[in-house]
């Protein structure tokens, strides 16, 4: 899954949750469900940022190896 696809899926989930929560009657149960889903969306965003950071870290740690391979193939 690409970063753009992940963002789209997260956005679609958020919109579905907003529609669900707004359709519930205003009472204590719907407040609890709304807060739960809000925390769930926040957790999904945190996980997405974590995954993105790990991908960038992997790219940066492999950068010297990539440069070495590029130099080897461009000379020969």
Residue 76, pLDDT above cutoff 60: no
Supply the mean pLDDT for the chain: 78
pTM: 0.48
Q: Give me the residue spans of the domains in the chain.
A: 23-75
Dump pLDDT digits (tens) for 53-65.
888 887 777 767 6
Four-CA torsion 24, 27, 29, 33, nearest 10 degrees: 50
Q: Per residue in 16-34, is it b (16+ CB within 10 Å) or e — as a string?
A: ebeeebeeeeeeeeeeeeb
Res. 70 pLDDT band, cuts 50 70 90: low
């Amino acid at each position: 899954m690409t970063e753009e696809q992940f963002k789209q899926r997260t956005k679609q989930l958020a919109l579905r949750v907003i529609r669900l929560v707004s359709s519930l009657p205003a009472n204590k149960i719907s407040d609890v469900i709304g807060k739960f889903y809000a925390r769930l969306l926040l957790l999904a965003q945190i996980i997405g940022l974590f995954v993105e950071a790990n991908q960038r870290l992997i790219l940066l740690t492999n950068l010297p190896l990539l440069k070495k391979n590029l130099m080897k193939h461009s000379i020969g």
